[in-house]
A and B are shown apart, each in its own frame.
Chain A
């Protein structure tokens, strides 16, 4: 009974979101390039925390909750993509499947960090999530000409995300290495700078009026 009610409510809310015009919906919801910058700031924060984790080592893990930061990031990104699938009618299947994979990867990483799953098994989910994320961002979301801003941003993001998969495999060979752990942070940092530096667009206020070129 409950799943049917939840499903019906989700379909109704999805239809209502589809019925809104671009500016009605985006007056309150950030525009794509604004989302890029917000995600860039979030990734910058995460990159720094991953650096600090590598540098501080055991001191960082004196607080138990700090083990959960990286898994929580994966899960939050997964839920974010599910919400994108809910709001945006385009590429719903891709967003939903990607979101679910990221959530599963977050759960696997959390189990590894709490000593409940071997790294080799957790890596199956994490590396798969990174590969699918790179394909989703770099291939399915890259639209326009090869020289267009949209294509350049998404392909560079996808390439950086793809590099994280071998970096993660390299890290798994010696998980106590500071440099191998820090490399993941470096790649997340590059990702954040791409999002912050390459995303430009028009500034549209809540009434849908363009106020300046960003």
Chain B
């Protein structure tokens, strides 16, 4: 997947979620004739309103990341291997232990 495609997908997530929430409200208004109370509790617990709120927050977080992804090199977009870090740390610990036991390695010409 190219950097541009990834950046576009990341950038569209927030507005997409908000748009679905908005369409949900419109469909609800069109097809559900039951009058709904316009109180605060209704707004904060209504699913489409929550989706619009989540979409807004996601947009604010993801747009800067989508710009960074668009500018990144392909190798920067690979997921890190956390276990490799574990192996590197273990190797460093082994080297440190060996240095403590035997002193720093010194090379002498024959």
Contacts and interface: CB of A to CB of B under 8 A. Distances in A.
Contact of A34 (B10, B45, B54): B45
Nearest to B71: A59
A54 B13 contact: no
B79 A54 contact: yes
B54 A41 contact: yes
B82 A175 contact: yes
Contacts of A176: 78-81
Contacts, number: 126
Contacts of A199: 47
Contacts of B37: 203, 211-212
B45 A38 contact: yes
B96 interface: no
A37 interface: yes
Contacts of B77: 55-59
A6 B39 CA distance: 39
B25 interface: no
Interface residues of B, number: 43
Interface in B49-67: 50-51, 53-54, 57-58, 61-62, 65
Contacts of A45: 54, 57-58
Contact of B46 (A48, A117, A214): A214
A181 B79 contact: yes
Contacts of B88: 115
A158 to B, nearest CB: 20
Label chain A's interface by main secondary structure.
helix
B106 interface: no
B83 A52 contact: no
A188 B68 CA distance: 25
A179 to B, nearest CB: 9
A52 B45 contact: no
A56 B17 contact: no
Interface string B8-49: 011001100100000000000000001111010110011100
Contacts of B58: 45, 48
Nearest to B58: A48
Interface in B74-102: 75-86, 88-89
A55 B13 CA distance: 12
Given A55-B10, A211-B37, A117 B79 contact: no
A187 interface: no
A16 B94 CA distance: 56
Interface of A: 30, 34, 37-38, 40-41, 44-45, 48-49, 51-52, 54-62, 112-119, 175-178, 181, 196-197, 199, 203, 205-206, 211-214
Interface of B: 1, 6, 9-10, 13-14, 17, 34-37, 39, 41-42, 45-47, 50-51, 53-54, 57-58, 61-62, 65, 68-69, 72, 75-86, 88-89
Given A41-B50, A118-B83, A212-B35, 5 more contacts: A41-B54, A59-B65, A115-B88, A211-B39, A212-B36
Query: What are the 3 A-B residue pairs with the smallest beta carbon separation, nearest first?
Result: A115-B85, A41-B50, A57-B77
